[in-house]
Structure 1
Amino acid sequence: MNQTIITLCAGTLILSACADSGANYTPILDGPTTPAFQSDLSACQMLARDQRQFDHETAAAAGLGAGAGALLGAADEDGSALGGAIAGALAGGVSGAVNASERREEIVVECLRGRGHRVVG
Structure 2
Amino acid sequence: MIRSPFFGIAPAVLLVAGCANSGANYKPVVDGPVGPAYEADLAACQSLAASSPTVDGNTAGSAATGAAVAGASSVIWNGNSDNLAEAAAVGLIAGITGDAVQKNKQRESVVKNCMRGRGHNVVG
TM-score calculated relative to the size of structure 1 = 0.89
CA RMSD across the alignment: 1.6
Q: How has the CA–CA distance of structure 1 residues 106 and 32 changed in structure 2, closer, same or farther, with 3 Å as cutoff?
A: same
Q: Which AA in structure 1 matches 2:55?
A: D
For the Cα contact (< 8 Å) 1:48–1:104, is it kept in 2?
yes
1:98 is aligned to 2:94: no
Runs of 4+ in 1 over 6 A off after TM superposition: none
Q: Which amino acid is 2:42 matched to? A: L
Aligned to 1:35: 36
Gap regions ≥5 residues in structure 1 = none
Distance 1:66 1:19 in 2: 22
* Partners of 1:8 and 1:86 within 8 A in 2: yes
**Structure 2 counterpart of 1:7:** 8
Q: What CA distance in whole angstroms lies between the structure 2 residues aligned with 1:10 and 1:104?
A: 23
The range that moved more, 84-93 or 2-11, is: 2-11
Shift of 1:12: 0.8
> Which residue in 2 is equivalent to 1:18?
19
Report the alpha carbon displacement of residue 90 of structure 1 after superposing the two structures with TM: 1.1
What is the TM-score with the length of structure 2 in the denominator? 0.87
More helix by share: 1
Q: Which segments of 5 or more consecutive residues in structure 2 lack a partner in the other structure?
A: none
Residue 59 of structure 1 and its aligned partner are, at CA, apart by 3.3
2:70 aligns with: 69
1:55 is matched with which residue? 55
Q: What is the one-letter code of the residue matched to 2:34?
A: T
Equivalent of residue 85 in structure 2, options 82, 87, 92: 82
Distance 1:116 1:2 in 2: 55
- Among all aligned residue pairs of Structure 1 and Structure 2, give the percentage whose two residues are the same amino acid: 37
Q: What's the CA shift for 1:17?
A: 1.4
